Amino acid sequence: MATLYDEKGTEIYAGRGKYSRHARRMIEQRAAYKRNEDGQLMVYVPKQETPTPQRTSTLDEDTRALKRDAQRLGQQLGLGLDEIEVRRETPDAVLVAHLKQMSTAVLAGLDSEQAAKLMQTLTYWMLRQNLSVHEHEEFVRNMHQLINGMRVPSSGAALLNREGIQSREEAVNVHPGSPTSNVYNELWVHAFLPPNRHRCRPSVQRDEELSNLHADGQIWFDPALIAGPEFVCENLHQVSSLATFRQGRHGIIRVYLPYNPRSSFVENNEADYRFRDRGHLPEPHFNQENEPWGHCLERFIDACANIKNTVRSDLRLFIHRGSEAPQEVIL
């Protein structure tokens, strides 16, 4: 019988007589060695047993192999299982993989850009149905309530094949609008609505000498498309004065200007009797090149650029004109 050694070359069996308990344990654990013809140590395997192949892979390789197998299994199983545990034993460890939601997930809801485009498009077309200022404000408020319930889940967790109990993506702050302590990443400015401190609002205290109660109240009944332009500058000024704006607490700001910036379309519509018969009003006589609030918008853009350069480097500003594609302003 061969003389046996441990991995350091220390003799554990002299080659004659019975194995000691220590030697038997070493043989069973494949930790006993014998020397070959070149004097090198090699694992000793009793003749009646099949030699165990030498380990060539590493724990990292085993982990990658398990990951591939788990992914393949997940693709084959598809829907119907919330979780599967896959185990693999290796000489170094027991590896475990958990498979969760192996089907392709379809998110139920609007993302931020889709919600903004929906608001822009519907506001643009509704104002062409001769909405009054009051009706415009009511429409905007109801649209926000509708859109907030349609937003994509906050963590992408609510799926079409799941219970609809997950929270939705955050809402947005609205100006002009009711004061709130909630501050969201997005601020939407509906520039054609009366500003928060406008004299037509019942909550605003009037100067009895300068105010005309009847005229102030009449503003609510004026066509929103015609009255809206006079509100733009004050709305932009108020937004730039908000504490949340100056502190950089909004990452995205959207300004809605629901007029038609294409002058050729305006001229054609004014000459079309059928268009007026449906209750539409003529478009304001200006376009993107000569907007009456242009200087106010430039000051607001400069204010946003200052916030981006000093407080919030990821600030983004979008201008939503008419039904055109939103314009992102390079700050």
Contact 206, 265 (CB under 8 A): no
Under the banding of pLDDT at 50, 70 and 90, the label for residue 104 is very low
pLDDT digit string (tens) for 239-264?
999 999 999 999 999 999 999 887 54
pLDDT of residue 153: 64
Q: Quick count: other Cβ atoms within 10 Å of Cβ 206?
A: 13
**Looking at residues 172-193, what average pLDDT do you find?**
93
Cα separation, 206 vs 69, in Å, equals 74
Backbone angles phi, psi at 119, to 5 degrees: -60, -45
Q: How many CB atoms lie within 10 A of CB 250?
A: 25
Q: What percent of the chain has pLDDT over 70?
A: 69
What is the average per-residue pLDDT within 46-71? 65
Q: Which range among 70-84, 279-293, 307-321 shows the weakest confidence by mean pLDDT?
A: 70-84
Strand 186-190 and strand 252-257: the pairing is parallel
Give the pLDDT band of residue 237 (cuts 50, 70, 90).
Answer: very high
Q: Which pLDDT value is given to residue 158?
A: 43
CA-CA distance, 169 to 150, in Å (whole number)? 9
The dihedral region occupied by 136, where left means phi > 0, alpha psi between -120 and 50, and beta the remainder, is alpha
Report the pLDDT value the prediction gives residue 7, as an integer from 0 to 100. 81
Tokens of 80: 């119907």
Range from 179-183, 196-200, 210-214, 298-302 carrying the lowest mean pLDDT: 210-214
What does the alpha-carbon distance between residue 211 and residue 232 come to, in Å, rounded to a whole number? 21
Give the separation between CA 262 and CA 322, rounded to whole angstroms.
9
> What is the model's pLDDT at position 105?
45
Domain ranges of the chain: 4-43, 59-100, 112-329
294, 300 Cβ separation under 8 angstroms: no
Residue 278 has what pLDDT?
42
Average pLDDT, the chain: 78
At 87, is the secondary structure helix, strand, or coil? strand
Write down the pLDDT at residue 51: 53
Answer yes or no: is pLDDT of 16 > 90.
no
Q: Is the pLDDT of residue 136 over 80?
A: yes
Q: What's the rounded Cα separation, in Å, for the pair 233 and 227? A: 13
Instruction: Check whether 85 has a pLDDT greater than 70.
Output: no
Residues 254, 116: contact at Cβ < 8 Å?
yes
Question: Which range, 102-106, 251-255, 320-324, is most confident?
Answer: 251-255
Q: Is the pLDDT of residue 230 over 60?
A: yes
| Residue 283 pLDDT > 90 | no
Q: What band does 201 get if pLDDT is binned at 50, 70 and 90?
A: confident
